[in-house]
Amino acid sequence: MTEAVRSESPPAGDVAPNAKRTNTGKIRIEGLSYRYRRRGREDVAALDDVDLTVGRGEFLSVAGPSGCGKSTLLRVLAGLQKPTGGVVRIHHEHRDRPLCAPVFQEYSIFPWRTVEANVRLGLDAAGVDRSEARRRSQEWIERVGLAGFEKSLPGNLSGGMKQRVALARAFVVEPEILLMDEPFAALDAQLRKVLQEELLAIVREHSYTVFFVTHNLDEAILLSDRIALMSARPGRVRRVVDVPFGRPRSAELRKDPEFARLEEDLWADLRGDVETIEEAVQ
Query: Three-state DSSP class for 139?
Result: helix
Letter string b/e over residues 57-90, b meaning 16 or more CB atoms within 10 A of that residue's CB = bbbbbbbbbebbbbbbbbbbbbeebebbbbbbbb
Q: Strand 44-54 to strand 27-36: parallel, antiparallel, or no bridges (unpaired)?
A: antiparallel
**3-state DSSP: the chain helix, strand, coil percent, rounded to 5?**
35, 25, 40
Supply the pLDDT for residue 66: 87
- Here the CATH number for the domain that contains residue 62 is 3.40.50.300
pLDDT (tens digit per residue) in 194-245: 889 889 988 888 889 999 999 999 999 999 999 999 999 899 999 999 999 9
How many structural domains does the chain have?
2
DSSP state of 191: H
Residues 183 and 273 in one domain: yes
Q: What is the pTM of this model?
A: 0.87
Q: Are residues 133 and 77 part of one domain?
A: no
Q: Are residues 181 and 267 in the same domain?
A: yes
Q: Are residues 209 and 251 in the same domain?
A: yes
- Assess whether 198 and 91 both reside in one domain: yes
Give 242-268 pLDDT, tens digit per residue.
999 998 888 899 999 999 999 999 999
Domain limit, last residue, from 152, 174, 196: 174
Answer yes or no: do 24 and 125 share one domain: no
CA–CA separation, 146 vs 143, rounded Å? 8
pLDDT along the chain (282 residues), means of 10: 43 38 74 87 89 95 92 93 92 84 84 95 92 95 93 92 91 94 86 88 90 95 96 93 92 94 93 59 40
Domain around 138: 106-174
Percent above pLDDT 70 for the chain: 88
Q: Which amino acid is at 12?
A: A
183 with 231, same domain: the answer is yes
Q: Domain check: are 72 and 210 in the same one? A: yes
